[in-house]
């Protein structure tokens, strides 16, 4: 396993953690919606944060190809093969 593949595993692990955080935010939005408190935070804030976290985690779980290309620009693995 080379450095780029290790970085990809780390990115996917971070994506998994962010997805768990997003699920917690979505569940919190449902809890605040069902049992409103005197808090200044509305369920919409939790829901927006949860959706953002879930979208970001989806990108990370798919490997974040743009981020990996930025970090490793000269990698032969990410370049498209020439069809000659």
* Beta carbons within 8 Å of 28's beta carbon, 6+ residues apart: 46, 50
- Read off the pLDDT of each residue in 55-82 and give the average, rounded to a whole number: 81
- In the chain, domain spans: 3-69
Q: Give the separation between CA 65 and CA 59, rounded to whole angstroms.
A: 9
pTM of the model: 0.76
Region of 78 please: left (phi>0), alpha (psi -120 to 50) or beta. alpha
**Cβ atoms of 41 and 49 closer than 8 Å:** no
The mean pLDDT value of the chain amounts to 85
Digit-coded pLDDT (tens) for 33-61: 888 776 677 888 889 999 999 999 999 99
- 82 pLDDT above the threshold of 60: no
């Amino acid at each position: 396993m080379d450095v780029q593949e290790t970085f990809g595993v780390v990115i996917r692990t971070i994506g998994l953690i962010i997805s768990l955080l997003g699920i917690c935010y979505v569940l919190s939005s449902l809890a605040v919606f069902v049992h409103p408190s005197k808090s200044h935070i509305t369920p919409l804030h939790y829901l927006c944060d949860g959706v953002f976290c879930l979208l970001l985690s989806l990108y990370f779980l798919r490997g974040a190809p743009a981020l990996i290309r930025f970090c490793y620009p000269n990698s032969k693995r990410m370049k498209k093969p020439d069809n000659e």
